[in-house]
Structure 1
Amino acid sequence: MGDFGAFVRRAARAGRLVVQPRMGFGDPGRMREGLLATRGADATTVGTLTLDSFTRVRDLDAVETALREGIGLNGYPIVSYATDTTRAVLDGVHADDFPVQVRHGSAAPIDIFAALLRAGLSATEGGPVSYCLPYGRTPLDESMRNWERSTALFAQARAWGMRPHLETFGGCMLGQLCPPSVLVAVSVLEALFFHRLGIDDVSLSYAQQTSRAQDREAVFALRRLCAELLPDADWHVVIYAYMGVYPTTPEGCLALLGQAAELAVDTGSERLIVKTVAESRRIPTIAENVAALEHADRVARAARAALPHAAAPLHETYPDSQTYAEARALVDAVLNSHSDLGSALLLAFKRGYLDIPYCLHPDNAGRCRSYIGEDGWLRWADTGSLPIADIAGARTTRPVTSSDLLDALSYVRRGHDGPFLYGDHPTS
């Protein structure tokens, strides 16, 4: 019951984009209310149980204190609640026509995987790199071991009559200012990591960045690499609405979300994770989540109707591009480092073959720098030891200052709020 990947594939064949919230509440009744509202939205939806920050870092004592003293949590503590409690939240909601995914953000997810399986759920997300480097100081080799154990456990769900589905968060590293080739490469590598540990139904993420044209190129590169490297897996692509500093005006928020929906349709992506008009200020309400889902669905249906044909292009027609060439070189450098992919990923970060700009984790080399060009594209200021120097071209000699970085972080917000605050033109 609740086969996540199969539901998305059916929706794609019917020409519908699946839209999904990030919703998570600490109170079981409220969580159930949110799932019911998501299911009842006027859109093709899947449900989300987003976990709280204490559960993500395995601080279960803090969860127990919060539950005992009535302190609000910023997500659903699936490990601390009895299995029967979570099953009651899902009863009559989680089904083949409305599967539910657990979203968490943990570098040590074994307890989370065990709890969601006990509750009858078979879809979650993350990755040994993408849920380690941006979020704390857990050593990368420790995260790798944790994710190897967790993924192997998750693969056993088949013995219980479930089809496990794992989504890599790799295409969303830090959410912003990471050139797309690295996002594409990490997403593909984490999907291969899952697949080699027994998961044959995966999704690969890509987060909307600063340029619609560059995003389109990046998603086509991602789809081409999936077709080349995951031929015996079921896979789909999920777009994330922009994860950086969000617009403050309702108009700017809706415009940015609409562009994410258009990107998904234009690139043949099958699923979209939305953001709401409240993102820049607070945790959104259930009603705000539903409004975002329905807005994204309306834009997606209009975008699909405007296409010359409804089918996504075949991978053989995906063009060669700068992003594809860089991403392929990064993936090949990692795969050629070691026969075991976990070991290869560790070696890649030690040697600087993978390096996330502006990421302060001790296991990240931190030699790469990026900047936003005048055309809005994310470009390399310094490629460090990445094996793409010849492909990326000569490094710029311009330094990236702290003021440059702060300016880049607010680039998307300015571009989308500007027309409604100052009469400027929106970011293209």
Structure 2
Amino acid sequence: MPRFADFVHGAATAGRLVVQPRMGFGELDRMRAGLTAVRDCRATSIGTVTLDSYTRVGDYASARRAVRDGAELNGFPLEAYGVDTVRGLLRGVSSDGFPVQVRHGSPLPLELFRIMVEAGVDATEGGPVSYCLPYGRVPLPEAADNWARCSELAAAAAEPMHLETFGGCMLGQLCPPSLLVALSVLEGRFFREHGLRSVSLSYAQQVHLGQDLEALAALRELAAEHLSGIDWHVTLYTYMGVFPRTPIGSYRLLEDSVRLAVHSRTERLIVKTPAEARRIPTIDENAEALEFADAIAGRAHADCVAAHCPPAAETGLLHEARTLVEATLELGRTVGAALVTAFARGVLDVPYCLHRDNAGEARAVIDDRGMLSWSRAGGMPVRVPATDRTPPLTARRLTTMLAFNERRYDREHLAGSLLRSAA
């Protein structure tokens, strides 16, 4: 088992939630200092090296020029530094007790995988759909072929690599959980098909605790069905949409994501800092957010032991996600071919995604229960509620939905402040 997965499973056995930042810096010394701070903070933590925008899109010349000129980058330019420098960076901080994941966002990452494998990177993430549709104009068949080669390269590495699907995080928000679960499982199947023996399945926190608990339970059940024979775990992302404006609202949202992770038995949490909504967080802000999450996890674990866990919703989400997975797999001899065909026919269709290989016929809304549901299915085999009492979708309503959690958590903070003032 890769040491990344070994560390996560060891922490889960000990009743600890693994927490991880989304951290990346262009300067080598600063990146090293960031990893060291995450390693040494008071939390069960894993390190992250997030790549810069130039490197993600394959514009390596611009990344090299930025390094040469000392220009500021919004992440780590892996290709510009090269194998020897990356290996040296990892050798100085990474260990069995502190594995490191490289996060990149590239739809065509074969060159990056070559560097990561040669440098001995513990883990990375992405997928043929999840790193193609949201991030550019690369045709989906080209991305699927490239990711197949990446997966095979990682599978053949001398040091086993762990690969996390980003499929459960499509567009960050306003994607009904059944589709997120289905895409995560399908990309996990894709990785296994191309030789990976250790994977993780992602899911991004949405807008309703009960629905998220139901989704994570469905994800675990389908993973057990489709990924038998290989190692896997689940990774939760703190809400990826518009964050609250107030610090207290932001920390309350982060706290809820931690509790969601613990109550759902999720092994790993990607932590978002309050500062991230406005700018790139500092090293100290990343470490503080990890320590906060770790402290909340301890309390949430005690609540679960005392049987105070909240109930999951019962909306038929598992059946819907299973239907999407099975309908897709019927369309091709390989998972990659099935995924390409499913999107071409609209059997899979991500709401509000503008990529040309996405049908764009499906729509989702936050319904009158505060849950994400389908308002239009397009060609997808999903159920659209017949008695939806929510108003029709307009540009104004879409904007309102995008700010749903921002307003809710800030409003709770402001309401609490007013009550305290009145008292």
TM-score range, shorter chain: over 0.9
Using a 3 Å threshold, how does the CA distance of structure 1 residues 33 and 300 change in structure 2: closer, same or farther? Answer: same
Number of the residue aligned with 2:421: none
User: Equivalent residue for 1:197?
Assistant: 194
Percent of aligned pairs with the same residue?
Answer: 53
* Aligned residue in 2 for 1:50: 50
Normalised by the length of structure 2, the TM-score is: 0.94
In 1, the alpha carbon distance for the partners of 2:388 and 2:136 equals: 31
* CA deviation after TM superposition for structure 1 residue 186, in Å: 0.3
Structure 1 pair 219–127 and aligned structure 2 pair: CA distance change class (3 A): same
Secondary structure (helix, strand or coil) at the match of 1:19 reads strand
- Structure 1 distance, partners of 2:365, 2:294, is 32
- Does the 8 A contact of 2:374 with 2:385 survive in 1? no
Supply the AA of the counterpart residue of 2:411.
G
In structure 1, the partner of 2:5 is 5
Provide the secondary structure at the position in 2 that maps to 1:406.
helix
CA apart distance, 1:188: 0.4
More divergent stretch after superposition (225-234 vs 347-356):
225-234
Deviation (angstroms), 1:375:
2.1
Which of 318, 323, 344 matches 2:317?
Answer: 323
1:173 aligns with 2:170: yes
Taking a change above 3 Å as real, the CA distance of residues 92 and 69 of structure 1, as seen in their structure-2 partners, is closer
- Per the alignment, in what secondary structure is the counterpart of residue 38 of structure 1? helix
Q: Which stretch shifts more, 84-93 or 113-122? A: 84-93
Deviation at 1:394, TM superposition (A): 2.9
CA deviation profile, 1:135-173 (whole Å, cap 9, x unmatched) = 11111111111101111111111xx2x221100000000
> In the alignment, which residue of structure 2 is the partner of 1:149?
149
Name which of 262, 270, 273 aligns with 1:273: 270
Aligned partner (choices 249, 253, 259) of residue 250 of structure 2: 253
Of residues 374, 379, 396, the one that matches 1:385 is 379
The DSSP-based 3-state class of the residue aligned with 1:48 is: strand
User: Does the 8 Å contact 1:170/1:183 carry over to 2?
Assistant: yes
In the alignment, the residues of structure 1 paired with residue 255 and residue 11 of structure 2 have an alpha-carbon distance, to the nearest angstrom, of 19
Secondary structure of the corresponding residue to residue 375 of structure 2: strand
Mapped contact 1:2–1:95 kept (Cα < 8 A): no
Q: Which runs of 4+ in 1 moved over 6 A?
A: none
Alignment correspondent of 2:393 = 400
Q: Aligned partners of 1:344 and 1:138: how far apart in 2?
A: 18
Give the Cα separation in 2 of the matches to 1:28 and 1:205: 29
Alignment correspondent of 2:38: 38
Q: Which amino acid in 2 is paired with 1:150? A: C
Change (3 A) 1:229 1:411: same
SS at match of 1:80: helix
Q: In the alignment, residue 330 of structure 1 is paired with which amino acid?
A: L
Q: Which moved more, 1:367-376 or 1:128-137?
A: 367-376
Of 339, 347, 353 in structure 2, the residue corresponding to residue 345 of structure 1 is 339
How far apart are residue 399 of structure 1 and its match?
Answer: 3.0
* Per-residue deviation, 1:121: 1.0
Please report how far the alpha carbon of residue 66 of structure 1 lies from its aligned counterpart in structure 2 after TM superposition.
Answer: 1.0
Partner of 1:315: none
Query: How many Å separate the matches in 2 of 1:228 and 1:424?
Result: 48
Aligned-pair CA distance for 1:23: 0.4
1:214-363 matched pairs, under 5 angstroms: 214-308=211-305, 321-363=315-357
Quickly say closer, same or farther: Cα 1:424–1:371, change in 2 above 3 A. farther
Distance 1:415 1:319 in 2: 20
Measured after TM superposition, the shift of residue 395 of structure 1 is: 7.6
Distance 1:424 1:215, change over 3 A: farther
Residues 103-125 of structure 1 deviation map (CA, whole Å, 9 limit, x = unaligned): 00000101111111121113100
The CA deviation at 1:336 is: 1.0
**1:59-108: CA deviations, max 9, x gaps?**
01111221122111111111111322212222231111100000000001
Query: 1:62 matched to which residue of 2?
Result: 62
Residues in 1 aligned to 2:183 and 2:141: alpha-carbon distance in whole angstroms: 16
Aligned residues: 414
How far residue 417 of structure 1 moved from its aligned partner, in angstroms, is 0.9
Bigger mean CA offset, 24-33 vs 118-127: 118-127
1:413 aligns with 2:410: no
- Provide the rounded CA distance (Å) in 2 between the counterparts of 1:89 and 1:28: 8
Q: CA offsets per residue over residues 342-374 of structure 1, 9 Å max, x none?
A: 110011001111000000000000001111112
Q: Structure 2 CA distance, aligned partners of 1:305 and 1:18? A: 16
Distance in 1, matches of 2:392 and 2:403, equals 19
Question: What's the Cα RMSD here?
Answer: 1.9
- Name the TM-score, length of structure 1 as normaliser: 0.93
CA–CA separation in structure 2 for the residues paired with 1:404 and 1:77 = 39
